Amino acid sequence: MAEPIKKYKLGLFGHPVAHSQSPKIHTEFAQRFGIEVDYQLIDATAAELPEKFKNWIQSAHGCNITVPHKQNIMPLLDHYTERAHLAQAVNTVYWRGSELWGDNTDGDGLVLDLQSKDIKLKGAEVLIIGAGGATQGIIPSLLAQNVAHIDIKNRDNEKAKKLERQFERCTAIGIKNLTAKNYNLIIHATSMGHHGLSPELHHDWIDSETVAYDLSYGKAAEPFLKAAKELSAKQAYDGLGMLYGQAALAFEIWFTKKPDF
């Protein structure tokens, strides 16, 4: 009599999470390798997270973490990787023996997507609009690809200044020192698109070789991508490919198998 196939319990902690594509993506990845997964969505407020996470993770193979908990989860873990330390954020949790580890695959997932689109990063001049956790999560991976420089523009310039102090080759640009230069890559990393808005874009930033990229996907990315195209950006992409990229890297951490996407 054949033994029953093991089903691996996975999940996503966030608030809200009902809209997430992660169950679909990871179930699709698992099917390619003949792996059975039960991928659950766990909605938890910041106050609920510690108890819900500690109870749930004991019987789980691992989990993903999304907003607003990428920093909140860190005190609940035993260790985290160097790239999670650099990003000061965790999006993937896994067991190593009896200890819980946190990693961050967001930045490398972005790089995978950009590389799949033949977007050159070495020597690139980059502008990131937004200075929150998403930006902090992608800067180390972009720097590792030897971009020339990263400018960071944020409504609260002190947040951008903090990232300038933390990372090499990064400069906070405020209203008073807006640069008049063309960028090779402009990344939108704020939540404005979820409200149907786009950050202001200056025509000096964009020429016929500029690539625009929104870390959001679907309708939330449309305002920024539309604004970039109107200023003649060469290409404009949403972050769906990054979502698949970071998920593929998380899947590899859990199962030592890396799906193509």
Q: Which residues are catalytic?
A: 70
Phi, psi of 135 (to 5 degrees): -65, -45
In the numeric block, the tokens 């409504």 are attached to 155
What's the chain's Rg over C-alpha atoms?
19
Whether residue 61 contacts residue 253, with contact meaning beta carbons closer than 8 Å, is answered with no
